[in-house]
Amino acid sequence: MTGRFARILAVAIPALMLALALPAPAAEKVVASLSQHDVSLTTGFAGSEIFIYGAVRRTAPLPEPEGDLDVIITITGPPLPVTVHEKERRLGIWTNGPPVALDSAPSFYVVASTKPFRDTVSWTDDMRFRIGLEYAINLVDAPDWVSDREAYREAVARVGEAKGLYSELPGGVRIIKNTLFETTIDLPADLIEGDYLARIFLIRDKQVLDMFSDRIEVRRAPLGRFIYVAAMDHAALYGAGSLILALFAGWLASAFFRTFFRTE
């Protein structure tokens, strides 16, 4: 009997400890949707916008919830390899220093929040869910001579911000009656093809309660894809074809005016 009781305890105690260690099911869940899931890059594409909206679904009564309710929304584009050069002054002239290759950086990144980012989420949950831009820029195989990796991450972030590809929108998410939320995020004209990840974080007292994710497919229209591939993969033929097309269009316009607008 004693041996059997000991075996039961040996199984029950670890199970109980595991159950206590697991977080309790969140009483607040996020339900969200996007205004569009497909973006077509046509030849005249000048940018677009995504309207993101949702609500908080409460699975249990909350008599007096502690802490402010906040929402963070991020959209991250496909990762790309990036090479960074640090400027060096040599003989009075600024030149590019040795290149440092970053493993990847997002081609597009925007974070919108109800409050300034650092006032919305804790450092721990930011690192746990990899919300901030610093967790999207990967610098793993840096050379041994790189002493300050963070400086290179910051350089990539500055360049992305200057090009309008990285942005932070404090106060960009609006919460209505502590239940509904909404935001509009602009997409620039120079998007690249790929799957863009949208994530919505429901936060209370700087702690993430729940997360919702969805994908946005950005694809080139057939004609746009043909022109893009021709320009990238067959630059010489593309240039020659463009020149011939321009000459033909000029000749056609000239012939049209000579035929219909000639004076006696």
Which CATH number applies to 27-78+106-220?
A: 2.60.40.3880
Give residue 33's pLDDT: 93
Helix H or strand E encompassing 53: strand 48-58
- pTM value is 0.70
Digit-coded pLDDT (tens) for 27-75: 889 999 999 999 988 877 888 899 999 999 987 766 565 678 999 999 9
Higher-pLDDT residue of 253 and 47 is: 47
User: Comparing 256 with 79, which gets the higher pLDDT?
Assistant: 79
Residue 264 tokens, joined: 């006696």
pLDDT (tens digit per residue) in 89-121: 666 666 666 666 667 789 999 999 999 999 999
The whole-number pLDDT of residue 89 equals 65
CA 162 from chain center: how many Å?
16
Q: How far apart are the first and last CA of the chain?
A: 121
Torsion of CA 95, 100, 189, 228, to 10 degrees: 100
pLDDT confidence tier of residue 88, bands split at 50, 70 and 90: low
Identify the residue with better confidence: 33 or 255. 33
Say how far apart CA 73 and CA 71 lie, in whole Å.
7
At 226 the pLDDT is 47
Q: What pLDDT is stored for residue 87 in this prediction?
A: 62
State how beta strands 194-204 and 48-58 pair: unpaired
Nearest 10 degrees: Cα torsion 77, 81, 87, 90: -160
Residues 84-93, mean pLDDT to the nearest whole number:
66
- Higher-pLDDT residue of 155, 7: 155
pLDDT at 171 over 60: yes
Torsion of CA 185, 103, 86, 155, to 10 degrees: 20
* Predicted local distance difference test score (pLDDT) of residue 230: 47
Out of 36-40, 66-70, 82-86, 122-126, the most confident range is 122-126
Q: What is the pLDDT of residue 62?
A: 64
Closest CA to 176 of 29, 71, 64: 71
Percent of the chain with pLDDT over 70: 62
Rounded distance, CA 202 to CA 205, Å? 10
* CATH 2.60.40.3880 domain range(s) in the chain: 27-78+106-220
What's residue 136's pLDDT? 83
The pLDDT assigned to 35 comes to 92
pLDDT at 114: 96
Average pLDDT of the chain, as a whole number? 77
| Bridging pattern class, strands 109-113 and 48-58 | unpaired
Question: Residue 19 pLDDT > 70, yes or no?
Answer: no
